[in-house]
Copies of this chain bind each other. A is one copy, B any other.
Amino acid sequence: MNHKWLDILSKNGYRLTDSRKAVVEIISLSTHALTPIEIYEKAKAKRDDIGLVSVYRTLEKLEELKLIQRVHQPASCQAFMVASQEHQHLLLCSTCGEIQFFDGDDLETLIATISKKTGFKISEHWLQLFGQCANCQKTQS
């Protein structure tokens, strides 16, 4: 993943700097959505003079290249995670923040019905499931 991202950045004319590589490594390997500050803190371990502003700038490019996406949650919408290339849906653990992709939804019928009923031409959908992962279920209750 890591490597692929660096290639893509490079092919799009972006230079591969240490700051950028640190951000790429952190976010490409995370199973949680991370905020710019969280990424910054982690990145400082690899490169202690990195600036928060470089984190923002790298996120901007990764988002533009659709390698990452913003994750919307009830508490905040400032976190980012890996994006899947294809159309996708998220399954989020409200306790620990773990996120997985899932598929297998079949909304065709629903979309056709709503479309007919409302006159909307529907082009996109967001589906997210929230719950508690297996691990967090064990840990408490």
Interface residue ranges, A against B (CB under 8 Å):
72, 77, 91, 93-94, 100, 102, 104-107, 110-111, 113-115, 117-134, 137
Query: Which of B107, B114, B115, B131 is A123 in contact with, Cβ under 8 Å?
Result: B131
Q: How far is the CA of A130 from the CA of B118 in the complex (A)?
A: 12
Whether A110 and B100, one on each chain, are in contact in the complex, defined by CB atoms closer than 8 angstroms, is no
SS class, residues of chain A in contact with chain B: mixed
Q: How far is the CA of A111 from the CA of B128 in the complex (A)?
A: 11
Chain B residues lying within 8 Å of A134, measured Cβ to Cβ, are: 118-120
Q: How far is the CA of A100 from the CA of B120 in the complex (A)?
A: 10
20 examples of A-B residue contacts, CB within 8 angstroms: A72-B72, A72-B126, A100-B118, A102-B117, A105-B107, A106-B110, A118-B134, A119-B133, A119-B137, A120-B132, A120-B134, A121-B132, A123-B132, A124-B129, A124-B130, A124-B131, A125-B130, A126-B126, A126-B128, A126-B130
